[in-house]
Amino acid sequence: MNITFRQLTVFEAVANCLSFTQAAQTLHLSQPAVSMQIKQLEENVGLPLFEKLGRQSYLTEAGREMHHYCRSIAGQLDELEEVLEHIKGIQRGRLDISVASTANYFATRLLAAFSRKYEGTTFSLDVTNRETLLRQLELNEKDLVIMGKPPEERDLEATVFMDNPLVVIAAPGHPLAKEKNLKLEALQEETFVVRESGSGTRIAMQRFFAEHDVQLSTGMEMTSNEAIKQAVEADLGLGIVSIHTLELELEAGRLVVLDIKEFPILRHWYVVQRQGKRLSPVAQAFKDFVINEVI
Ligand code: PGA
């Protein structure tokens, strides 16, 4: 079957009004041109699609089937047009997001993959700690935020999309580095380099040790994961960071993850927005991308 789009359009116009003359007027064609298209279509399918009784045209059984499929093709085309318009809307858009300092280790890769999918989108990415992220959400400054679980009592909509395991790190020469199945109590003798208050990692760590009734001695406080890793490498103490921050150091053998029974502390990453916020097409597409395509 070698049907053309043009033949289907003409057929649908005739089938809708059951008149070649009226269809010709609607399509701004001559009546013979309409008849020619229908004749070619009938030759292509090998069946008559119309029959004439007196002056009135009727659809044959094959014609009725053809009409049914024509309608669904037209419906699909409308849908396709909408989808393409939606993609154009996304590509024209600018995404304004914030991510937790710890999430930045994968967020840039996510943005790169998203912009490969929707060429033309532009971004503004702010990297900051949990406390600041919550403030930005409250002030409605950002489309979306990627962070650890936000507090229940806030007016926020949070969708989980990935694990965030927190681990204890040490310099490779540290006395605990080679121990297996360490007890939590062994950490009480150690000094920790910790993130600033306001960091999600810090809050999770404090909660975890309080629940396990373990007192930690915290030495230096630092405002970035990079600074913590360097301090730990320089043997200034142990650190607790997300496994997402460690790819390079573990590969290069510059840091080790301690083998402790109760670890990792399992946190999760969420994509968060204010409840009821109407997202722009690009923000909605990014949210769907994060939820559906991140494994
Ligand atoms: P952060 O991480 O420590 O970089 O603020 C966010 C979180 O784990 O909630």
Say which CATH number the domain at 30 has.
Answer: 1.10.10.10
Domain shared by 143 and 183, yes or no = no
Please state the atom number of ligand 1 nearest to the C-alpha of residue 204. 8
Report how far ligand 1's centroid is from the alpha carbon of 7 (Å).
Answer: 61
Whether residue 96 lies inside any domain: the answer is: yes
Non-local CB neighbours of 26 within 8 Å, separated by 6+ positions: 13, 17
**How far, in Å, CA of 278 to CA of 91, rounded?**
18
- Kindly tell me if the per-residue pLDDT of 293 is higher than 90: no
Indicate the pLDDT class of residue 83, thresholds 50, 70 and 90. confident
Would you state the pLDDT for residue 88? Answer: 85
Determine whether the shortest distance from the Cβ of 200 to ligand 1 is under 6 A: yes
pTM (2 decimals)?
Answer: 0.74
Highest mean pLDDT among 30-44, 86-100, 140-154, 187-201: 30-44
Phi and psi at residue 195, in whole multiples of 5°?
A: -75, 165
Q: At what angle do helices 104-117 and 281-293 cross, to 10 degrees?
A: 110
Q: Probe ligand 1: pick from 160, 197, 242, max atoms within 8 Å of CB?
A: 242
Its domain, for residue 28, covers 5-73
pLDDT tens by residue, 219-276: 789 999 999 999 999 999 999 999 999 999 999 999 999 999 999 999 999 999 999 8
Domain shared by 154 and 289, yes or no = yes
Classify residue 235 as left (phi > 0), alpha (psi -120 to 50) or beta: left
Determine whether the shortest distance from the Cβ of 130 to ligand 1 is under 6 A: yes
CATH number of the CATH domain containing 274: 3.40.190.10
**How far, in Å, CA of 155 to CA of 215, rounded?**
34
Would you state the pLDDT for residue 150? Answer: 93
For the chain, the three-class secondary structure string (H helix, E strand, C coil) is CCCCHHHHHHHHHHHHHCCHHHHHHHHCCCHHHHHHHHHHHHHHHCCCCEEEECCEEEECHHHHHHHHHHHHHHHHHHHHHHHHHHHHHHHHCEEEEEEEHHHHHHHHHHHHHHHHHCCCCEEEEEEECHHHHHHHHHCCCCCEEEECCCCCCCCEEEEEEEEEEEEEEECCCCCCCCCCCECHHHHHHCEEEEECCCCHHHHHHHHHHHHCCCCCEEEEEECCHHHHHHHHHCCCCEEEEEHHHCHHHHHHCCCEECCECCCCEEEEEEEEEECCCCCCHHHHHHHHHHHHHCC
Whether residue 46 lies inside any domain: the answer is: yes
Report how far ligand 1's centroid is from the alpha carbon of 132 (Å).
Answer: 11
Please state the atom number of ligand 1 nearest to the C-alpha of residue 225. 4
pLDDT tens by residue, 158-194: 999 999 999 999 999 999 999 999 999 999 989 999 9
Report how far ligand 1's centroid is from the alpha carbon of 103 (Å).
Answer: 7
- Kindly tell me if the per-residue pLDDT of 1 is higher than 80: no
Please state the atom number of ligand 1 nearest to the C-alpha of residue 166. 8
Domain shared by 168 and 257, yes or no = yes
Determine whether the shortest distance from the Cβ of 267 to ligand 1 is under 6 A: yes
Non-local CB neighbours of 231 within 8 Å, separated by 6+ positions: 193, 220, 222, 237, 239
Whether residue 175 lies inside any domain: the answer is: yes
- For the chain, the C-alpha Rg in angstroms (whole number) is 32
Cβ proximity of 190 and 176 under 8 Å: yes
Whether residue 83 lies inside any domain: the answer is: no
Task: Count structural domains, the chain.
Answer: 3
Determine whether the shortest distance from the Cβ of 102 to ligand 1 is under 6 A: yes
Determine whether the shortest distance from the Cβ of 37 to ligand 1 is under 6 A: no
Whether residue 39 lies inside any domain: the answer is: yes
Bridge partners of 120, per DSSP, are: none
- Kindly tell me if the per-residue pLDDT of 97 is higher than 80: yes
Mean pLDDT of 123-127: 94
Report how far ligand 1's centroid is from the alpha carbon of 126 (Å).
Answer: 14
Whether residue 80 lies inside any domain: the answer is: no
Whether residue 257 lies inside any domain: the answer is: yes
- Kindly tell me if the per-residue pLDDT of 42 is higher than 90: yes
Indicate the pLDDT class of residue 295, thresholds 50, 70 and 90. low
Nearest to 232 by CA among 178, 191, 196, 290: 191
Indicate the pLDDT class of residue 289, thresholds 50, 70 and 90. very high
Domain shared by 55 and 170, yes or no = no
pLDDT tens by residue, 10-20: 999 999 999 99
Q: Probe ligand 1: pick from 126, 135, 147, max atoms within 8 Å of CB?
A: 147
Non-local CB neighbours of 182 within 8 Å, separated by 6+ positions: 176, 258, 259, 260, 261
Mean pLDDT over the full length of the chain: 93
Cβ proximity of 195 and 225 under 8 Å: yes
Indicate the pLDDT class of residue 152, thresholds 50, 70 and 90. confident
Determine whether the shortest distance from the Cβ of 128 to ligand 1 is under 6 A: no
Report how far ligand 1's centroid is from the alpha carbon of 93 (Å).
Answer: 28
Whether residue 245 lies inside any domain: the answer is: yes
Domain shared by 131 and 262, yes or no = no
Cα–Cα–Cα angle for 206, 153, 194, nearest 5°?
20
- Kindly tell me if the per-residue pLDDT of 218 is higher than 90: no
Report how far ligand 1's centroid is from the alpha carbon of 218 (Å).
Answer: 18
Domain shared by 142 and 287, yes or no = yes
Domain shared by 172 and 237, yes or no = yes
Report how far ligand 1's centroid is from the alpha carbon of 102 (Å).
Answer: 5
Phi and psi at residue 11, in whole multiples of 5°?
A: -60, -45
